Amino acid sequence: MQLTVWTYEGPPHVGAMRVATAMKGLHYVLHAPQGDTYADLLFTMIERRNARPPVTYTTFQARDLGGDTAQLFKSAAAEAYERFKPEAMIVGASCTAELIQDDPSGLARALNLPIPVIPLDLPSYQKKENWGAAETFYQIVRTLAPKRDTAHTPGARKRCNILGPTALGFRHRDDLAEIRRLLARLGIEVNVVAPLGASPADIARMPDADFNVVLYPEIADVAARWLERTHGQKFTRVIPIGENATREFIEEVAALAGIDATAVLSDPDSRLPWWSRSVDSNYLTGKRVFIFGDATHAIAAARVAAEELGFEVVGLGTYAREFAREVRTAAEKLGLTALVTDDYLEVEAAIAALQPELVLGTQMERHIAKRLGIGCAVISAPAHVQDYPARFSPQMGFEGANVLFDTWVHPLVMGLEEHLLAMFRDDFEFNDAAGASHLAAHQTAPPIPQAPTASEILWSKEAEAELTKIPFFVRGKARRNAERFAAEQGLATIQIETLYDAKSHFAR
């Protein structure tokens, strides 16, 4: 038993739902107790989908357990076929149905439906959401795109499939658009995108492609390996998140397609490199950042943070145990030990101990960071409704790199403001605790009562005039600093020089 406050991943059948909901013409019949229909709202509310997920739940109750839940499953599957007329069906059990052992696979087979019925075996007490999505996608591909007798003959124009995007994925919609654009510029044709938008008939066409582009290994890695073994389709390993990875991805794709990518590489529309080199970005240097998410996004974020923004990565971790090895390797390269856990409380403890200046994480880390008063940007699922933006906001490709620059820099205190904070760090309305001034959401710290000014110290006329040149929001602090400095130094009168001596003294 594991004590959990919040979970990073849902159960494996939610992963299967993400695949089914992404596809067209596929229906999922899920043996599940009343209440498991909550999962619909993930799609209709968090992702704002305008249609119900294509899922029929048996929603059995206690009174059914004494009777025939198997019959309930059969009638639900038969009715779902009649009503929705899908091209193919996936069938399986949620955690409770797994315990009553009704064998949805055998029951569905007994119905002799005139469509492919794909049984899913998703062990709910061992596995989680991403594993369930990967397994579901793999089973669908394997069933609907079996080995062919004749080998695929490449056409004049190279074709690829894009594998991985699902419903409820973090920015999958926009990543896909960006990668499609990139492939079009390279002159590569997209054969099938799956699961997102694919029908069972499209899945059957997947072997027509020359190679596969894998965007999210958590979901597509198993299927891609099977396609390589069965249909000889090689697949991409580089995840195009960040400027450098996007360039490597283009080179990798070009090599797979046997084309020349020089033109695309020499004219990238990425602004990240210049934005990072721009002098105002100096203040980003060495910002301490903690990174946590699924493996793909966490590893990519660590590279972008270190190489392309000049941050110092002080922590790197993942909840995706299936990809722990990859994350550990990435962490070791940065001289770190990866945090591999799905215990939210452990992640919180790690962040609290490291006191980073920025957290890049999931919606869980956003809340941790908020509690600890640290800036945060979301880089990975699980995400909440605000991370499904209306605007185009990819993470992948050159435009994705632009987006990363903007969203990661935004939560930080900006350069010049930071200097002022260092100088007047005790100012009651302008201090570290009040947060960055461009972030309206930050609460202003409660005002600290002012100490009475040292009235015995005199200000020279010149110094008084100089003081008025200091911006109003820091003038009070400058006055007090100067008086404090004068008192400490035993000076009776504050001259212009005293003001600057004080500034130098307190700007440590």
Catalytic residues: 280
* CA within 13 Å, CB half, 483: 17
Binding flag, residue 492, other proteins (CB under 8 A):
no
Q: Is 472 exposed, middle or buried (0-12, 13-18, 19+ CB in 10 A)?
A: exposed
Q: Which is nearer to other proteins, 79 or 260 (CB)?
A: 79
Q: Which is nearer to other proteins, 65 or 458 (CB)?
A: 65
Residue spans of alpha helices (H) in 304-380 = 324-333, 344-354, 363-372
**What is the nearest approach in angstroms of other proteins to the Cβ of residue 50?**
3
Pick 130 or 402: Cβ nearer other proteins: 130
User: In degrees to the nearest 10, what's the CA dihedral of 52, 57, 59, 60?
Assistant: 170
Least gap, CB of 66 to other proteins (angstroms): 11
Q: What does the alpha-carbon distance between residue 109 and residue 349 come to, in Å, rounded to a whole number?
A: 49
Q: Which of 40, 103, 228, 417 binds other proteins (CB under 8 A)?
A: 40
At residue 243, the 3 state secondary structure works out as: helix
CA distance 246 to 495: 58
Residue 213 in contact with other proteins, rule: CB under 8 A:
no
Q: Please select the residue that binds other proteins; options are 18, 128, 159, 171, rule is CB under 8 A.
A: 128
Hunting for tokens 């995108």 — which residue is that? 193
298 counts as binding other proteins under rule CB under 8 A: no
**96 or 143: whose CB is closer to other proteins?**
96
Distance CA 228, CA 222 (A): 10
Q: Please list every residue from 172 through 211 that binds other proteins, using CB under 8 A.
A: none
Contact pick of 26, 76, 162, 194 for other proteins (by CB under 8 A): 76
String of contacts with other proteins for each residue 372-401, x by CB under 8 A? ------------xx----------------
How far is residue 441 CA from its own chain's centroid?
22
Nearer to other proteins, 73 or 235 (CB): 73
Distance of closest approach, residue 125 Cβ to other proteins, in angstroms: 5
Q: State how beta strands 88-93 and 339-340 pair.
A: unpaired
Residue from the set 16, 23, 65, 169 that interacts with other proteins by CB under 8 A: 65
DSSP string of 188-254, one letter each residue: PEEEEEESTT--HHHHHTGGGSSEEEES-HHHHHHHHHHHHHHH--EE-----BSHHHHHHHHHHHH
Contact residues for other proteins (CB under 8 A)?
Answer: 1-7, 9-11, 13-14, 33-42, 44-46, 48-52, 56-62, 64-65, 72, 75-76, 79, 83, 94-96, 99-100, 123-126, 128, 367, 370-371, 384-385
